[in-house]
Structure 1
């Protein structure tokens, strides 16, 4: 036994000495973990520039952020609003210069706006408690759309929703968001119902929001980022198709895109998943109001997507304008429409082939004077 430990035992007694020793080891672990997180965050954080960044208060006391990527010359086409998914921020559609729908559209002359919903911001606990699906539908999305139209003076905008960003428009079109404000809508991996990859017991959906924990995904993502590309695990395949990710992109995505899932929003998704998968707002199925939709719409699904399986995206596609035979809508299943490989969920946003498989059909659909001019081979 070392002299310093013997001295410590004489001063504190054997029990006290071992408690102090255990505390020191625990402190060393905490400090090491904090340094580990800080180092990887610094190594993998990628800052991107925007023409404008604006923080806007919502009517219920929370806030959203808007970022603008403007073209070199004014566009005759309306602005485009990109809306991110759950557990992420605006960077899931602006990963880096080579994996960015926002910058792809800008390069083709579009005025692009990215919203960061309250779910993608690091809010103080009192505000985080207000982060649920209904509040984002009632407050965040209408505010984002109204602000973009106000700042640009445009009467309409084009909308691109990734995952939850698409679900939010399903829930609000013709209600909080008047149809006349949306010229075209594109949905990427945006399910019309929740099919969980694992069975969620029904009682889970009945747990009060006050008892539901926040999912600390941001910290976990940063901690795991350094080893995330060593080998593919079942978790990788649940979130994306690792074969579609360029080296380094998974690590950068984990550090720059991932955010915590607030307890109330966590409770919302578990409630839907634990029942029959029906997504509801204010007690009503969100797809019920889409039968008469008249906005031209593009739906993109990944054939290997386990978070938004193709059948769940098609569920929304079939509901869109179901009672309106005149509405144009198109369903594209990547992996079976000539794309290189089956797409999972995350790689629909940040995969190696997005500039070849995902971005062009969106840009062509949004830019076309007549969406019916889309080549028949790509329509379903």
Structure 2
């Protein structure tokens, strides 16, 4: 699967790069037959030092724009280094933000409208009906990683996985001793989610689908500003949005500002496809993936990651309900037990690991500095 820069799959944002970081965005479509992955590339056109490629993978029920939320709750801007993705790009990393194929909101709000080379241009996008955890691990990730290697020209790349994004790379590295993935940062990524997670999925799906009505075909051309639910979210007092019924499960309300929560609800939360939901329900009930012989060698295979030539860094939140600290401690103990590479983000729950009050100081900056030490172009 080769990327040819002469074909129009690389659409640059029509924004003049602003000093001092000179950041640009680029839309990339990774297409392999009928399988298409949308990737947003963020990079500086004037980096002081080129530090190599980084893939940023979001969590379940979120899209990759989570990494583009800034300290004030704004999203998608490129004139600063106040978001996780922008900070990496400003420091010279070539950032590839991965939007998994379940991200219907990203597709219907953006890709189907503006990416003319997409297989789904001017169509109503639906997540594939066969999209399971194992499809992501065994088909989508190899496609994504090979594409980034080809496009960036880097034979060793780094991976930042939040929640599901980290769990995917655990499983991928178990199955493939991949020569390209060198440095792995996981953020709130357990070996398996707990029972509570599967119980709140229906409520998360209801909320994300209700907030995403503008993506349906009969409303697809309308501005978000005309959609009553999205407009309602924007006009609600921030304290109402922060202390909603799902808040304690998703984040620590005292560690996140209301503007950020509005952005999460309006732009980031994604419905979870039923095949993926069913896969996780089985995963959670058994405590491990249940496909064929996984039950027998799951933990043994995880321990095998110790023998691979990879560097790991783990972040966790002390108030994380979906990925409790003990689950991250277990992942660290199995995968990288002899390294002091486990970092607590104070006051953080799950979503506010990435976009909470403490995220820049306790997560973004340590992650960037760690990658500077290990990244290889």
On whether the aligned pair clears a TM of 0.5, the verdict is yes
**Among 218, 223, 228, which residue is 2:208 paired with?**
218
Secondary structure at the aligned position of 1:118 is classed as coil
Residue 199 (structure 1) shift: 8.3
> 2: CA distance between counterparts of 1:152 and 1:282?
36
Q: Partners of 1:113 and 1:67 in 2: how far apart?
A: 6
**Which of 85, 102, 107 matches 1:119?**
102
Residue by residue, what CA displacement relative to the aligned partner does 1:132-165 show, whole Å, maximum 9, x if unpaired?
1111111111111111110111111011000000
**1:283-332 CA-partner distances (Å, limit 9, x unpaired):** 5155432213231100100000011111111221112156xx6xx46111
- Contact 2:67/2:354, CA 8 A, preserved across alignment: yes
1:132 and 1:219 mapped to 2: Cα distance? 20
- Following superposition, the deviation at residue 174 of structure 1 comes to 4.7
- Which residue does the alignment assign to 1:26? none
**3-state SS of paired residue (1:180):** coil
CA distance in structure 1 between the aligned counterparts of 2:58 and 2:161, rounded to whole angstroms? 6
Match of 1:300 in 2: 315
Tell me if the contact between 1:170 and 1:287 (Cα under 8 Å) persists in the aligned partners. Answer: no
Aligned-partner Cα distance in 1 for 2:101–2:300: 26
Where in structure 1 do 4 or more consecutive aligned residues deviate above 4 Å? 47-50, 122-127, 280-283
Indicate yes or no: 2:151 matched with 1:146.
no
CA distance in 2: counterparts of 1:233 and 1:214, whole angstroms: 12
Equivalent position of 1:103 in the other structure: 86
Shift in alpha-carbon separation, 1:58–1:167, aligned structure 2, 3 A: farther
2:271 to 241, 247, 260: 260
Q: In 2, are the aligned partners of 1:58 and 1:139 still within 8 Å (CA)?
A: no
CA contact (8 A) 2:183 2:374 kept: no
What is the distance in 1 between the residues matched to 2:63 and 2:134? Answer: 18
Note if contact 1:171-1:281 (Cα within 8 Å) is conserved in structure 2: no
- Looking at structure 1, the residues matched to 286 and 53 of structure 2 have their Cα atoms a distance apart, in angstroms, of 37
Which of 1 and 2 has greater Rg? 1
Q: Contact 1:236–1:242 (CA<8 Å) still a contact in 2?
A: yes
CA distance in structure 2 between the partners assigned to 1:350 and 1:315 by the alignment: 24
* Structure 1 residue 115 displacement after superposition: 0.8
Task: Name the counterpart of 1:192.
Answer: 191
Residue 94 in 1 paired to residue 94 in 2?
no
The answer for unaligned runs of 5 or more in structure 1 is 1-46, 205-211, 336-341, 371-380
* CA drift at 1:57: 2.6
Q: Deviations over 1:23-58 (max 9, x none)?
A: xxxxxxxxxxxxxxxxxxxxxxxx999531122234
| 2:329 aligned residue | 314
**Alignment CA distance shift 1:113-1:243 (3 Å):** same
Q: What count of residue pairs does the alignment treat as equivalent?
A: 301
- Superposition deviation, residue 368 in structure 1: 1.2
Partner of 2:128: 128
Structure-1 separation of matches of 2:203 and 2:350 = 24
Segment of structure 1 superposing worse, 123-132 or 353-362: 123-132
How far has the Cα of 1:229 moved from its partner? 3.4
Q: 1:357 aligned to 2:331?
A: no
Deviation sequence 1:73-105 (CA, Å, 0-9, x none): 354422111001111111111123576211011
Q: Is the alpha carbon distance of 1:283 and 1:87 closer, same or farther for their aligned partners in structure 2, counting shifts above 3 Å?
A: farther
106-115 or 90-99, which deviates more: 90-99
Once the two structures are superposed, the pairs formed by residues 4-153 of structure 1 within 5 Å of their partners are 50-58=24-32, 61-73=34-46, 75-95=49-69, 96=75, 97=77, 100-121=83-104, 127-153=127-153
CA-based RMSD of the aligned residues comes to: 3.0
Quote how far apart the aligned CAs of 1:125 are: 7.4
- Residues 135-174 of structure 1 mapped to structure 2, 5 A cutoff: 135-174=135-174
Q: Quick one: distance in 2 between partners of 1:70 and 1:283? A: 42
Distance in 1 (CA, whole Å) between partners of 2:317 and 2:50 is 32
Residue range with higher mean Cα deviation, 277-286 or 90-99:
277-286
Give distance in 1, aligned partners of 2:233 and 2:195: 24
The normalised TM-score by structure 1 is 0.71
Shift of 1:213: 12
TM-score (norm 2): 0.72
